[in-house]
Chains A and B, each alone.
Chain A
């Protein structure tokens, strides 16, 4: 009986051990730099989670990462590794901004919905291309999503510096700004915009769909064994394109939220690494949409606290990147211990069902 509990809790224990080992390694790194590890961890806590302000700082930084994390985690259910979130986000921002300008004059709620839907649509189309290419033309989706990402970024730059440039934005080429009344506001009583709530709801919906409905079941079969899925009568091609498009919609939504809640216009400023950070988030969350939420908050917190380390200890910005890197390597590395942590116990063959979720990590 206790064996069962141990085996059930193994993934969680592995994660905890990996995190603690990462913290220890980072402490050694910090000590080599001549700083006190205790002071560093104290500041990391204080800067990321130590006060109401720190929490809001963390949540704001986490909110785009939830969506860009989903952009990787959802296609991963169908066995795809998509890494082009950055460019998809850029296009979502661009189309969102265009929608905002076209709908000018309508009531705010309609304009805001229009912006978000346009962003999702742009993202879904762009990522859908990768899904389509993979299925119908046999193009590797990792490569195609990355290359499409560069094209997306180039398109954003082209339009904000060319046809859609606001003449008033001389040295920072941007689209025309949205009116203040159309901007997405803050959650009641907080200094965090609604983008966080949207991200959390998306993650929850994705998780529920994948875990409790036939949609998720079908996707996992498609991802696990396309041939078997075909034999079972599933329309594999359609599922793969849909999963890619759904992921893209999440990244596009992140871009639209950046425009409607933060920047007020589309410009090169939205290309700030959220898409790439989303890859990290999704892999740390083992492609589980629910786990994307806490992981995004953790990364957001580390980023928020990184500023604190710079300001108080004059440590370089790269120090928190080192921490993120160590965490990433150790958490992924701990996968190799899976099923072996309590190796004296026989592992039933049935437990191997788990890798379906982590298919994307291959």
Chain B
């Protein structure tokens, strides 16, 4: 055989390698994780990577904040798909780590996974990010928290309107679900508050994390003349990078992406989950009842804006800051009639307005006039 020497060397290597592994396996000291009884163990699971420059990172940052609180032990898992894996990961945190409060951060975790585990473990609290908990229907040890990030999207739109030359903005979105539509509409209304002629072109990629399609969509929008891009996908990284590479502006989403686009990053709509996380952890520590329904916007500190990039002119900063200060006082209404959808139908009548907490906005199923795209 031609390479018998080689294969016999490899064989020897394999044999010795096997022996070492076997010895180490046998000699493994059996140790158990010592659990400090006085510490509150908090679990967290994310659907994507902790450092995705997006949704999951915004949660991981809040988890890091909790980690630094005294008397708290944190266990977390990333890339947990919305399958039986969610249930088992949560259960493992309860059984193997003694978790008493679990943050389930992906929207799709709620039904059936969080509900099932909440029924099975009534002593454990489950905090789900989204807006789904319903009184009288869902267990009392479950709570929903969410932020009104459309306020930040509106401000994104205001800033974008000041720098666009083509008057065409681009929005790359995952799926045409109410929460996404609300962001697209707020962004557009913000831009139109500066210049009513501005349009937003939307491309739906079909799923939350499709980096290749997102890059294609970004290039497609830029080729069509859009000169400010923003998005609602799980990880905005490639979109912001593509915009920067092609020399157009971008507004961030979920987390701060300024480092990806030092020239063109204007500002961004960021979650500030540390606020609700802290409230939920403190309620658990104090033995107060689970907070079942928790919402907030800029005023409550659930969302925040990225610091302005250097491309943002002074006038844009002034106008946006003016609106922001009204939002911080809680008296700015984004969805104020009359509002038409992009087929010409009136969706909010003149004289009618939907405040931030109006549940009617959570059923949104239209794109406002000035949005180029179809649901």
Contact = CB atoms under 8 A, between A and B. Distances in A.
Nearest to B43: A311
A41 B28 contact: yes
Interface stretch (B71-79, B150-158, B194-202, B288-296): B71-79
Chain B binding surface, main DSSP class: helix
Interface stretch (B2-10, B302-310, B314-322, B335-343): B2-10
Q: In this complex, which of A61, A172, A263 has the most chain B Cβ atoms within 10 angstroms of its Cβ?
A: A172
B83 A340 contact: no
A170 B175 CA distance: 11
B18 A317 contact: no
A310 B77 contact: yes
Given A24-B20, A57-B92, A173-B177, A272 B81 contact: yes
Interface in A61-98: 61
Contact of B24 (A41, A157, A263, A316): A41
B36 interface: no
A173 B50 CA distance: 25
A47 B7 CA distance: 36
A60 B107 contact: no
A46 B92 CA distance: 11
Interface stretch (B93-101, B236-244, B279-287): B93-101
Nearest to A267: B108
B271 to A, nearest CB: 16
Contacts of B78: 310, 316-317
B350 interface: no
Contacts of A304: 88, 92
B7 A340 contact: yes
A214 interface: no
Contact of A172 (B30, B80, B108): B108
B4 A343 contact: yes
Contact of A53 (B15, B29, B92, B175): B92
A157 B83 contact: no
B111 interface: yes
Contacts of A341: 7, 11
Chain A binding surface, main DSSP class: helix
Given A53-B92, A170-B178, A317-B78, A27 B18 contact: no
Contacts of A173: 175, 177
B179 interface: yes
B21 A24 contact: yes
A61 B88 contact: yes
A20 B362 contact: no
A92 to B, nearest CB: 15
Contacts of A177: 111
A20 B14 contact: yes
Q: In this complex, which of B11, B83, B207 has the most chain A Cβ atoms within 10 angstroms of its Cβ?
A: B83
Interface in A29-56: 37-39, 41-42, 45-47, 53
B49 interface: yes
B100 to A, nearest CB: 15
B77 A42 contact: no
A53 B77 contact: no
B8 A60 contact: no
Nearest to B179: A171
Contact of A269 (B20, B76, B83, B206): B83
Contact of B95 (A53, A310, A316, A340): A53
B84 A61 contact: yes
Interface of B: 1, 4, 7-8, 10-11, 13-15, 17-18, 20-22, 24-25, 28-31, 33, 43, 49-50, 75-85, 88-89, 91-93, 95-97, 107-108, 110-112, 130-131, 175-179, 206-207, 362-363
Interface of A: 16-18, 20-21, 23-24, 27, 37-39, 41-42, 45-47, 53, 57, 60-61, 154, 157, 161, 170-173, 177, 258, 262-264, 267-270, 272-274, 303-304, 307-308, 310-312, 316-317, 337, 340-341, 343
4 cross-chain pairs, A with B, having the tightest CB-CB distances, nearest first: A20-B18, A272-B81, A269-B82, A311-B75
Given A45-B28, A161-B176, 15 more contacts: A17-B15, A23-B25, A24-B17, A24-B21, A41-B24, A42-B31, A170-B362, A262-B83, A274-B83, A307-B88, A307-B89, A311-B96, A337-B11, A340-B4, A343-B4
